[in-house]
Amino acid sequence: MITGCIKTQHGNLYLQINIYPPELNGERKRRWIATGLPARGNKTQAEFILSTLKIIIQKDGSLIPKYNCSHPIDKVAIDFPHLPIATIASLRKYIGEPPETDPSLERALTTSLSASDGESFDSIRNMLFCDYMVQWLERLEPTLARGTYGGYIQQVHKRIFPYFNTLGLTVSDIRPGHIEDFYRLLYKEGLAANSVVHYHNNIRKALQTLYKKQIIPNNPADLIDNRPERTVFEPTYYDEEEFNQYLAVVRDTKMELPVLFGGVYGFRRSETIGLKHSAIDYKKSRLTVQHTVTIANISGKLEVVREDGVKTKKSRRTMRLLPIAQDAIERSIERQAHYRKKLGKFYHLDDKDYLCLDEYGRLLDPGYVTQKHREILDYHGFKHIRYHDLRHSCATILLAHGVPLEQIMRWLGHSDIQTTMRYAHLQVDKAMDNMAELMGGLIK
């Protein structure tokens, strides 16, 4: 996040922002952005503009990934309609525009795919494999959640298509060795084993469609020698004392609800930010997980995706509204009422249905929550854990107090007990400690 302040020049307000380009090795570089506002009586609106720039501009001076698109400033103007024309013009001059889409990818997007559209099986066999992968994804889009589709685009458009486009292989040319070579490249580029598994799953599913239609004699992805395998992730977590310390420092801030729901209820980030007022029944002291907010890369643009749905059927769960949570929600509502009165027409009303808002009434960006979480831990010298590890902390605290894994599975909304079993080693560790204490007392 950038830093900055408001300055007065020639009777108008300007924003001085401080950026830290990597090539300057930590040295500050100043940039000036016009607000187009007279100095007298417009300080509140200038503060709003500065707050907005702190959200969309990164420390190195570039825009956040959400605006990595063909027309970033136009997208900013749509997302923040209260930004003055002068500010938009300054941003356009400062940021510039990124390069256009690869023309070979445009070719793939207009290539026909299946025999059901009048093409013969032979023409599909002779289609470039990279084109087939793009078209397979486009056909799959209506069946996918928006966020899932965005993840698939990243894989297919950014890595699979360029690699196999260079090879020039057709669908019928693809062999297990070609796919293995691609995986080796991914590992060489530093991708984690679990990420390579995702690539393998999509390539296999795409080829399996052709195999089932008997367009190809077998699925090459099933015949590779070194199939990618998931690694077992060992999460870090807070115990109850550490979590209580963290919760205390975020009390009465916009991060209180994200931290509380992550650590107390084990919510995923998407579930926390997606929590709406309509999901809470104060009379029955119940809350229901039924909305999500995620970040997805859609056609090269990072977008915040709001969905009236959850990850799996078991992710939708109704839970008791704890007094600590109700108290935090009520204090958050009071703060928002204060901000709305103070800002007047500059207060954002489009997100009023959600609970996790900033000082301007805007829904907290998922990326902001993750970044702010890291900053708070660093500032207070707390043990570093990922935001998602608050969910793990919730599970480990419950397990340490004897709650069975089956109940923890329901609390976290896991789809099956195998996912929850990652915490089983904690039970074993506790049992080993108990036996060690027993033997230490018996043997003199």
Helix (H) or strand (E) holding 113: none
Ranges of CATH 1.10.443.10 domains, the chain: 240-425
CATH of 103-222, one of 1.20.1050.10, 1.10.150.130, 1.20.1600.10, 1.20.120.920: 1.10.150.130
Q: How far apart are CA 225 and CA 166, in angstroms?
A: 24
Ranges of CATH 1.10.150.130 domains, the chain: 103-222
- What pLDDT, on a 0 to 100 scale, did the predictor assign at position 226? 83
- What pLDDT, on a 0 to 100 scale, did the predictor assign at position 162? 92
Torsion of CA 145, 149, 150, 154, to 10 degrees: 160
- What pLDDT, on a 0 to 100 scale, did the predictor assign at position 308? 81
- What pLDDT, on a 0 to 100 scale, did the predictor assign at position 435? 65
Q: Where are the alpha helices (DSSP H) in 189-316?
A: 193-212, 240-249, 256-263, 269-273
- What pLDDT, on a 0 to 100 scale, did the predictor assign at position 20? 82
Residue 363 DSSP symbol? B
Q: Where are the alpha helices (DSSP H) in 303-404?
A: 323-343, 366-380, 389-400
- What pLDDT, on a 0 to 100 scale, did the predictor assign at position 106? 61
Instruction: Extract the residue ranges of the chain whose pLDDT is less than 70.
Output: 1, 68-71, 96-103, 105-119, 232-234, 297-302, 311, 424-435, 439, 444
Closest Cα partner for 127 from 116, 137, 114, 118?
114
CATH of 240-425, one of 3.50.50.60, 1.10.443.10, 3.90.1150.10, 3.40.50.150: 1.10.443.10
Q: How many CA atoms lie less than 13 Å away from 153 in the CB half-sphere? A: 19
Torsion of CA 31, 36, 39, 45, to 10 degrees: -90
**pTM for the complete prediction?**
0.65
